[in-house]
Structure 1
Amino acid sequence: MGRLSLFAISITELRDIFGAAPELAQHLRAITTRQFPTPTEHRHRGTLLGRIGPALKRPIDPPNAPARPTMADCEVLLAGRAVPPERLGYAWQIVLAWLDELSWGRLDLTLTTRQLSDIEFDLARAGLPTSFGMERLFQNNPQLPLRPLPTQRFGYSKNQHVKATAQALSTVISDLSESSIPAAGQVLAFLNQFDNWSARTAETGRPAPDLVAIWTD
């Protein structure tokens, strides 16, 4: 199974994460600390061997890189530096937590690649122009310093394209097969919220949201 994750956030706000200004960086550090707390180390009472002295102790092996997201990973992202390949998955966990916190809204759909292709075909059969298909949600390169994972596809659509897609999708949704309607209906409901979110930009001081799309196998 795969997962399609859609986030409503301006691409400018997403890019600003990498090389973040001090105030934003502090906010993102707080999110990281809350979502990925450092495990508590348990202190053990000394043993007889420990009290004899260092002469009988075995050398301590060097620590391995933690198998979890760390604040060191966070700082690499905030500085906009390249993430080492072995830490890429953990860095993505942090970025997804940031997106979840910063986005106007989020939608996750669990689908197989075949199901996603079938929905795309069904939309075209119902008369949806290819320019408004599911694949077009990935049409733009976010141009981030963070590489996608080998199992990921990552892209975005601008605000106006999202609204146009919602309008076009609403005209064909009733003509889809029963198997496609649940997922397509959730996508349409999510896209329909962009008008409301965009209308609130003046009061929030934030730019209108774009749509960031991530597919993970």
Structure 2
Amino acid sequence: MQRLVIYALGINDVRDIFGADETLAGRLREAARAHYSEAPPQRRRWFGPLLRRDPATEVDPGRPSTADVDALLSGGFVSSERVTPCWRLLHVWLAELAPASRAVDYDEDLLDRVEWELATLGLGSDHALRSLAERRLGIPLAPLPGQVVGYAKHLHAVEVLRHLRPILELPELTAETAAFVGPIVEVLAAAEGDERLDILAIGTV
């Protein structure tokens, strides 16, 4: 099962990452450095130097590199083999910039069940959870196959919240749906009072 992260953050703030000015670039470089600076402790391998591939000295290809940082901050080209590390890096930066974010376990079957239940309890299709990811981010980094990537404008997010709140109070609501929707509502509520905040829905990789 994947993880889906919901962020309260203005879409223009997201797009500003790609081609960041000096101040923003400095903040994001520091965030990346802090997040990835703690390397796991290495066990001493007495025969490591004799091995053709010593795990203690290998570079993890899934870990974002300095080149990845430079590519995203400049809005430059990201090769296909670096897309996954770059999405991981972007999640770090979105968490740094967003005043609120929450993650939920996610797969299509679960979302289908949740959406069906919400619809039977009165949530219209215009305010379905999927509508929070209908718009493209408009950034140079392409989504991976099967990855949820999208956003909703502030006004729409507030409308979704307004329609969800009374449904969460219904006794018929199942625990599964409440557990999925609850964290999303928390982020929607955090964005409600600030018209600069949109809602992003992005799957982890």
Q: Give the structure-2-normalised TM-score.
A: 0.83
Could you say which structure has the larger radius of gyration?
Answer: 1
In the TM superposition, what are the counterparts of 1:115-154 in structure 2 within 5 Å?
Answer: 115-154=110-149
CA displacement at 1:170 relative to structure 2: 1.0
Distance in structure 2 (CA, Å) of the matches to 1:66 and 1:182: 34
Q: Which amino acid aligns with 1:143?
A: G
**Mapped partners of 1:183, 1:141: distance in 2:** 23
| In the alignment, structure 1 residue 77 sits paired with structure 2 residue 72 | yes
Count of paired positions: 187
Tell me if 1:185 matches 2:182: yes
Structure 2: gaps of 5 or more residues:
43-57
Give the deviation of 1:162 after TM superposition: 0.8
Give the deviation of 1:65 after TM superposition. Answer: 7.2
TM-score (norm 1): 0.79
Distance, in Å, in 2 between the alignment partners of 1:105 and 1:38 is 24
CA distance in 2, matches of 1:153, 1:139: 10
Displacement of 1:177 after TM fit?
2.7
Which residue in the other structure is 2:55 paired with?
A: none
Q: How does 1:22-61 map to 2 (within 5 A)?
A: 22-37=22-37
Equivalent position amino acid for 1:210 in 2: D
Q: Secondary structure at the match of 1:19?
A: coil
**8 Å contact kept, 2:71–2:77:** yes
The residue type equivalent to 1:88 in the other structure is: V
Contact kept? 2:8, 2:190, Cα under 8 Å: no
Say whether 1:7 aligns with 2:7. yes
Could you tell me which residue of structure 2 aligns to residue 102 of structure 1?
97
Deviation at 1:186, TM superposition (A): 2.5
C-alpha displacement at 1:38, in angstroms?
8.7
Letter in 1 for 2:12: T
Shift of 1:209: 0.8
| Secondary structure, counterpart of 1:137 in structure 2 | helix
Give the % identical residues: 30
Equivalent residue letter for 1:24:
L
Corresponding residue number in structure 1 for 2:198: 210
**Distance in 2 of aligned mates of 1:104 and 1:114:** 30
Structure 1 residue runs without a partner (length 5+)? 43-63, 199-206
In the superposition, relative to structure 1, how do residues 162 and 118 fare at CA in structure 2: closer, same or farther (>3 Å)?
same
Once the 2 structures are TM-superposed, how far is the Cα of residue 216 of structure 1 from its aligned partner?
4.5
Alignment partner of 1:190: what SS? Answer: helix
Query: Is the alpha carbon distance of 1:128 and 1:37 closer, same or farther for their aligned partners in structure 2, counting shifts above 3 Å?
Result: same
Q: Which residue in the other structure is 2:191 paired with? A: 194
Report how far residue 183 of structure 1 moved.
1.6
CA distance in 2, matches of 1:216, 1:98: 13
